[in-house]
Amino acid sequence: MKKKLIVCILVLSLAMALSACGGGGSASAIKSVDDLDGKRIGVQLGTTGDIYAEDIEGAQIEQFKTGAEAVLALKQGKIDAVIIDDQPARVYASLNNDITVLDEPFTEEEYAICISKEKSDLRDKMNGAIAELKADGTLQGILDHYIGQVEGAEAYKTPPGTAYPNGQLVMATNAEFPPYEYFEDGDTIAGVDPDFARAICDRLGYELRIDHMDFDAIIVAVQSGKADFGAAGMTVTEERLTNIDFTDSYCMASQVVIIKK
């Protein structure tokens, strides 16, 4: 699959960088979430992993712009563990035989699309489309393709004859988060969130434009009107709800812990 090829290239680049630095190290002493106290924990800046890691007693939190950078630091022995969303963690672990994911989840969560509190009408329209796409199996088909990798499941395709009488919507994302969003064939952004956002926009009569940016810039972009909504494997939290609104959830997920074997 193309998405796996892209991630393979990314991880190969990480491995080359690691060998140049002479990385190595012994097996992890972390066997469960309870062992994280006092450890050096890598997180992606602005994610829920970043937020929740603050509650780990005595931990030294290292923030990275991408999950890939955090994984590289783990492989180099600069940190003891990485807290990240489950599906990207599985991708990294499947392509690096010196790291693994703890069976015990760090926390459970739900993903939703973020929208400005001033755009309640758009939120309500998107919620209506989300309900329809859940009911007719479109969402499940997208999840089956990218996450379940069910045989015969395909990426979403815009139905022939789809029109966009309502103009354009801009989606803010961080395309460093496979399989939810990643670059494919150069500068095309693919994954669960782009497909689902396109399905929503097609249903509502909007053309979709996707803007890539740092994860911690997404909410600001939506608040300021630079983007109409944000979709990037984003979890609904009380802290985020003070600044932004969310649609109904569309995917269950979890934060997990990556360690060295």
151 with 77, same domain: the answer is: no
At residue 63, the pLDDT reads 97
| 259, part of any domain | no
At residue 233, the pLDDT reads 93
List the structure tokens of 131. 């309900």
At residue 26, the pLDDT reads 52
Number of compact structural domains in the chain = 2
238 with 216, same domain: the answer is: yes
pTM of the model: 0.79
At residue 23, the pLDDT reads 43
| 155, part of any domain | yes
87: containing domain: 2-109
At residue 5, the pLDDT reads 40
At residue 39, the pLDDT reads 97
Final residue in a domain of this structure, among 109, 144, 168: 109
- CATH code of the domain in which 67 resides: 3.40.190.10
Which amino acid type is present at position 159? P
Final residue in a domain of this structure, among 109, 136, 164: 109
- pLDDT tens per residue across all 261 residues of the chain: 444 444 444 444 444 344 444 444 455 789 999 999 999 999 999 999 999 999 999 999 999 999 999 999 999 999 999 999 999 999 999 989 999 999 999 999 999 999 999 999 999 999 999 999 999 999 999 999 999 889 999 999 999 999 999 999 999 999 999 999 999 988 899 999 999 999 999 999 999 999 999 999 999 999 999 999 999 999 999 999 999 999 999 999 899 999 999
Say how many C-beta atoms besides its own lie within 10 A of residue 55's C-beta: 8
129 with 240, same domain: the answer is: yes
Distance CA 252, CA 104 (A): 16
